[in-house]
Structure 1
């Protein structure tokens, strides 16, 4: 697992550059489409800056990809059985949010992601990150507040929420303990 953590910033940066170049976009084009500064896009692409969850959501939305799909492309592994020690892990440097991609990479149209959200953390996600997929949030431990547009969903362990139409959202842990939840992403291919 430590090897994955050590090179994930370079792999994410390389994937962002690949997606940008595949579309024939300049750094400026991606900056304008994502709302992320050109300088920050440059640093992320070179692996010189560890991107936050919010920044990745903006960049992936510009590509019409979910954050999960973008990270999956960066984390690519080919095994049908992915051992816990080999599951790609990414840590948001701003909030301490820990994302573990649990499911194997395949053409199966579902991704399973485990998230550990520290106490007091708040992760905003723009509507663009949700416009081309369906998601469920299944709370495993702790408490999670999910703000979906104007709706506030207070979740307890075992609760499962299907996300509605795309809108700006916020994952919030207002408690004094970390929470763990699964995000089930169904890709619309």
Structure 2
């Protein structure tokens, strides 16, 4: 296995892969993982990982594949330059994102919808007056996670009544029809996240 040094200033013919070293180092820092632990899990030597992190060498595709597998990411995510890999998306609550019925006590906006390894949707909701709303069943195997930012509300799912309080995360099988009810002030508002 031969490696070539990465040059400080890349030309158009010499790509600069310093970001791979930053990526690996950031991954280890986030996981509070030593070079040795990543080396053992990936099968890449400790010294090779240290050289990659300090931009002293360009890893081969075999080394990249081993590191990516050990970090549970795709090789594409590892080698994409940060400006492409970060994939930052900022969503705001705007009238065109409202998915609830006009005039309803319950107002809901779709903030984000993604399909990658699985499908998920993120919604912001609030009650503008006391009232209730009902949801049809989501697809089989789906889960809904509700984060209540303020207020309190009741959730009815099957024959069960659940009281949801602020600063709590409540998760349940969204394939069962359910409804929310808000009867107290401050009025309930928060986020829910559906995973399919």
TM-score where L is the length of structure 1: 0.48
More helix, by proportion: 1
Answer 1 or 2: higher relative contact order, Cα 8 Å, separation at least 6: 1
Q: Rg larger in 1 or in 2?
A: 2
Normalised to the residue count of structure 2, the TM-score between the two structures is 0.47
